[in-house]
Chains A and B, each alone.
Chain A
Amino acid sequence: MKAVIAENLIKTYNKGSVRALDGLNLDVEEGTVLGVLGPNGAGKTTTVRILATLLSPDSGHASVAGIDVLKHPDEVRKIIGLSGQYAAVDETLTGWDNLIMFGRLYHLSAKAARERAIELLEQFSLSDAAKRPIRTYSGGMRRRLDLAASLIIRPKVLFLDEPTTGLDPRGRQDMWGVIDDLVKGGVTLLLTTQYLEEADHLADEIAVIDHGRVIARGTSDSLKKQVGGERLEIVVENANVAATKEIVAKVSGSAVNVDEGLRQISAPVTTGSKALIEAAKMLDEAGIHPLDIGLKRPSLDDVFLSLTGHVAEEKIAEVSDATSGRKKGKK
């Protein structure tokens, strides 16, 4: 059974000049995790807001656990949890105050609200900070409290909009752990992210969206295959470029890309680290000492490039900066 269905959602802003969603279709099988992957402005938040009853689409249908989101929003609200892109809790109140307030708003008795708050604070390692105003929380703590608040009624379907954006690597790891536990508990989860790695780790299936449409969909493996999987990248002295190209061609078996300026030779490989070792061995035998050698996993940028033929639009400036930065780093 599908726990979430979105059909042909269209949402425009500014009298139609901005098409936030342009015929978006997706569904989530009950008890599974769908990762919605897309760059800034792709329509992730808009999708989540429509599914969580906060926004009406111009047209299209959506249902959660078989309930029509547009016709029966009140029913949908009883079974979903939402943690938006930015933590939405009352900053002047303490973590405890917030959980009690939301618990009461979910119509728990005073006692049940207290018990649930204690449980959740424990589960999210916030017990020590419970009596401090949220104002004094770190970004990661805020995010966790926000998530805790959305779990008060043990929702059947959970929406998380970029749950780890803005967290440091440690905070991200913690959040992943928390989400893994939730998923083991059987919740159906739709989460959005800008990181392929995150979708890879958390999601059973990934929907890549761009300009308000789903442009690719599948498990992370199948997507990576579409993107071309891993690439072997080697940087060598000028004199060795030609010889290295031959070696890489042998290892890869596909077309080799040579960047003369950077003296970088690269090609897709399917055997991962085995290809890397093989290439290193052959280089060694040929007496070539690479300046840099490595496997590059496909990034969101690569997914976009290969799926759409364009770099995620809003990010053009950023991406070209990042790419040149990366290349400089490799010299």
Chain B
Amino acid sequence: MMNAISDALIITKRQLLQLARVPEVLIFSTIQPVMFVLLFRYVFGGSIDTGQPGGYVQLLMPGIFVQTVAFTLAATAVGLSADMQKGLIDRFRSLPISRSAVVFGRTLGDGVLNIVVLVVMGITGFLVGWRPTSGALKIFLGFVFLFVFGFAMSWIGVLIGLSVREERVAQNVTFIAVFPLTFLSNAFAPTTGMPKPLQYFAEWNPVSTMVAGCRELFGLKNEFGATAGSFPSENPLLMSIVYMILIMAVFVPLSVRKYNNASKK
């Protein structure tokens, strides 16, 4: 067990070392979400009336946070797929290390990267008017939630990354999977304007429950249309926790098994 953790940390350290050797990766993976914050804040900010104090940026920030950590799935998938292509996974598998070390270390590494990105985004948000009102503890809890959600999504990325033949496929598959999820949600606009069936989808969408949960933790009221009063709308935090547990319960064992049978295609 101790070995499993220390092996995983070596893999995580490798990823951080990569960032130190090629800082551009970190720079651009933070620039993108920052750009999203600014674009949404100033492009849509004027046209969406939120009916809440502080304006659109208050609703937007939780949405963008969740979108960003949801995309950890893509980062993990692409990273692992590249390792596989270069034969590194083979090499790791020929070493006497714990069976989960490589994938666990990778998801942890992507988690650490998420912390950096979240901090930079939070600061950017603050600069453009984001003011959570719930107090330090709840705000911190909100970020913990975001971190864990990113970590859970990362495990889906492991399975995808180890299953596809090529990095580019990993990139495409994950974008196709995550983009609709983040847009068919309450992340950027209230779901009240969607056709009814979509509202129901958006209501159960883990991205929505995460966004609604974070809004709660950051001191905002959530608004729902047709789905107001439904279970996920009423209990977004609880529902998000259930989703995270479900995702990990399914994808951690699948991913570890996939890793142990992985071979270059």
B133 at the interface (CB under 8 A from A): no
B22 at the interface (CB under 8 A from A): yes
Q: Which residue of chain B has its CB nearest to the CB of A149?
A: B91
- Given the known A-B contacts A78-B96, A92-B21, are A101 and B14 also in contact in the complex, defined by CB atoms under 8 Å? yes
B127 at the interface (CB under 8 A from A): no
User: 8 nearest interchain CB pairs?
Assistant: A88-B87, A77-B96, A88-B91, A78-B96, A82-B94, A92-B18, A104-B10, A105-B95
21 contacts between A and B (CB under 8 A): A49-B90, A53-B93, A54-B90, A55-B263, A77-B94, A78-B96, A82-B91, A84-B91, A88-B87, A88-B88, A92-B21, A93-B18, A94-B21, A101-B10, A101-B14, A102-B91, A105-B10, A105-B97, A106-B95, A106-B96, A133-B21
Say yes or no: A105 contacts B92, CB within 8 Å. Answer: yes
A87 to B87, CA, bound (A): 8
User: CB-CB < 8 A to A54: which residues of B?
Assistant: 90, 93-94, 263
B86 at the interface (CB under 8 A from A): yes
What's the tally of chain B residues with a CB closer than 8 Å to chain A? 22
Main secondary structure of the interface of B (DSSP, over half): helix
B7 at the interface (CB under 8 A from A): yes
B39 at the interface (CB under 8 A from A): no
What's the tally of chain A residues with a CB closer than 8 Å to chain B? 29
Complex interface residues of chain B between 19 and 40 (CB less than 8 A to chain A): 21-22
B17 at the interface (CB under 8 A from A): yes
Q: Which residue of chain A has its CB nearest to the CB of B89?
A: A88
Main secondary structure of the interface of A (DSSP, over half): loop
- Given the known A-B contacts A84-B87, A101-B10, A105-B7, are A90 and B18 also in contact in the complex, defined by CB atoms under 8 Å? yes
Say yes or no: A91 contacts B10, CB within 8 Å. Answer: no
User: CB-CB < 8 A to B47: which residues of A?
Assistant: none
> Total number of A-B contacts with CB less than 8 angstroms?
67
Hey, what's the 0/1 contact readout for B40-59 against A, CB within 8 Å counting as 1?
00000000000000000000
Say yes or no: A89 contacts B88, CB within 8 Å. Answer: yes
User: CB-CB < 8 A to A74: which residues of B?
Assistant: 96
The smallest beta-carbon distance between B257 and chain A, in angstroms, is 13
Interface residues of B (CB under 8 A from A): 3, 7, 10, 13-14, 17-18, 21-22, 86-88, 90-97, 101, 263
The smallest beta-carbon distance between A287 and chain B, in angstroms, is 61
Hey, what's the 0/1 contact readout for A20-38 against B, CB within 8 Å counting as 1?
0000000000000000000
User: CB-CB < 8 A to A52: which residues of B?
Assistant: 94
A225 at the interface (CB under 8 A from B): no
User: CB-CB < 8 A to B86: which residues of A?
Assistant: 86, 88, 90-91
Hey, what's the 0/1 contact readout for A286-309 against B, CB within 8 Å counting as 1?
000000000000000000000000
A80 at the interface (CB under 8 A from B): yes
Say yes or no: B3 contacts A97, CB within 8 Å. Answer: no
Hey, what's the 0/1 contact readout for A90-112 against B, CB within 8 Å counting as 1?
11111001000110111100000
